[in-house]
Amino acid sequence: MSASLSDFSAHVLRAELRAGTLSAREVTEHFLDRIAERADLGAFITITAEQARAAAAAADERFAATPAAERGRLPALHGIPLAHKDLTDVGGAPTTHGSAALPHTVAQADAPGVHTLRGAGAISLGKTQVPEFGLTGYSENLIAPPARNPLDPERTAGGSSGGSAAAVAAGLLPFAPGSDGGGSIRIPALACGLVGLKPGLGAIPSDVTRGVRDEFGAPRLTVTGPIAHTAQDAALLFDAMRGSGKAGSIEPAVTAVARAESLRGLRVGISDASPFASAYPTPLSPEARAAHERAAQLLSGLGHVVEDAAIHYDPIYPQAFTRAWTAGLSLLELPAGGAERLTPLTRLFRERALARSAEDHAVAAAQLHAFAAHARAQWARYDVVLTPGLAMLPPRIGAFTALSPDDDYQLQCEWAPYTSMVNVSGLPAIAVPILTTEAGHSFGVQLIGRPGTEETLLQLAAQLLAS
């Protein structure tokens, strides 16, 4: 059976583990072997094999000590492997932040989100590849090989959750948690043909432990969410990430997806307007446009009311977002000589952030709050807004870093012109694969929801994937 474990959904793995057909040790060893076999993808920075084996042994001991009649009450992710981005602390493993500029200190404790998933029974296999400090939409840095796209290894897997998406797409993990500050879940999910849910700010409690505004008063951009092959598996991980993974807990997203076929009559607004258009006009590739049009047709056929949406964005957005996105670099404390070990993009944007005054940061923050209010008001005319996903094929490995930092950033905005605005708004959004080209590349779409509609977005993803 182990030869086919990578083809099992997380839901099937869960059922087999709870039935005792599979042991946590067997599952863990299978995925550790798969990770070793596909080291060429650069999905992992660190593999924590011995810690994973110890956790699997403990999971099997727990299973053996649980009466058969009570095994349905085991933690939601009992014995299921996953991995965490190397931007977050996992106790006993080094945290690199994808950077050569900082010491790679072994974390003494789990970050809150990691602690939640460990409590839900998940077994961490290691730390996945990220860009330096999670800044870019591709996962290349100066400390480890780049994360390659399993659909076309000459191309990027996206970022900043690129290592995680590559691992899931290649069957090295059944699913994975990601984080998203400007598209970092949705970009790699779209690039690798996966489902990626960016929850609304606050949907996962550990995302707002530091408040809903950043240190400069701008909207807090980064949230955590699942990357998976199916809406059902994304729902399972999402429920666990928000604390519904304890024994006997209700799983609202899983329940919602199970009845996805009953969802009808949503008002869906279609738009290909991008807030970056004032700075970086971005024509959609034929494949990106075809995926957008196909998704609209499918949603109409599923009984939803689909109509064109006249949406317009303030042209100040590119400047305001760029300043807010990089403002935190001004708070970065580096050891002696650390600045020289930053990537060129990080170094330049840090220098610019340091040169701006507190008033400059406050102005950008205010501009983003105004943008968010205006965008939410326009999107609120619909239950869901449907945008394209990525505008073109994933660029080749090295294509971004071969450019100057400003041209690198421009290419990122042109490739992913629809994602960051949702972070600024604080609303949920989901990336869904729609079509596969003859060459095997995936193109998908983004669905933006109203506050608190993560379950609805997962239902829509399930409907689209089943169509």
pLDDT tens digit sequence for 298-313: 999 999 999 999 999 9
Q: How far is CA 293 from CA 129, 172, 185, 268, in A?
A: 33, 32, 23, 13
Calculate what percentage of the chain has a pLDDT beyond 90: 97
pLDDT tens digit sequence for 4-51: 899 999 999 999 999 999 999 999 999 999 999 999 999 999 999 999
Helix (H) or strand (E) holding 455: helix 454-466
User: For the chain, how many structural domains are there in total?
Assistant: 1
Q: What is the mean pLDDT of residues 130-153?
A: 98
Domain enclosing residue 335, as ranges: 2-466
pLDDT tens digit sequence for 331-368: 999 999 999 999 999 999 999 999 999 999 999 999 99
pTM of the model: 0.98
Dist. CA 72–CA 86, nearest whole Å: 32
Which CATH number fits the domain that encloses residue 97?
A: 3.90.1300.10
Residue 250: the pLDDT is: 83
Dist. CA 175–CA 253, nearest whole Å: 16
Dist. CA 389–CA 205, nearest whole Å: 27
User: Are the beta carbons of 101 and 87 closer than 8 angstroms?
Assistant: no
pLDDT tens digit sequence for 89-98: 999 999 999 9
| Positions marked active-site | 85, 160, 184
Amino acid at 377: A
φ, ψ for residue 218, nearest 5 deg: -80, 160
Residue 245: the pLDDT is: 73
Residue 1 has pLDDT above 80, yes or no: no
Residue 2: the pLDDT is: 44
Residue 96: the pLDDT is: 98
φ, ψ for residue 267, nearest 5 deg: -90, 115
User: Are the beta carbons of 152 and 440 closer than 8 angstroms?
Assistant: yes
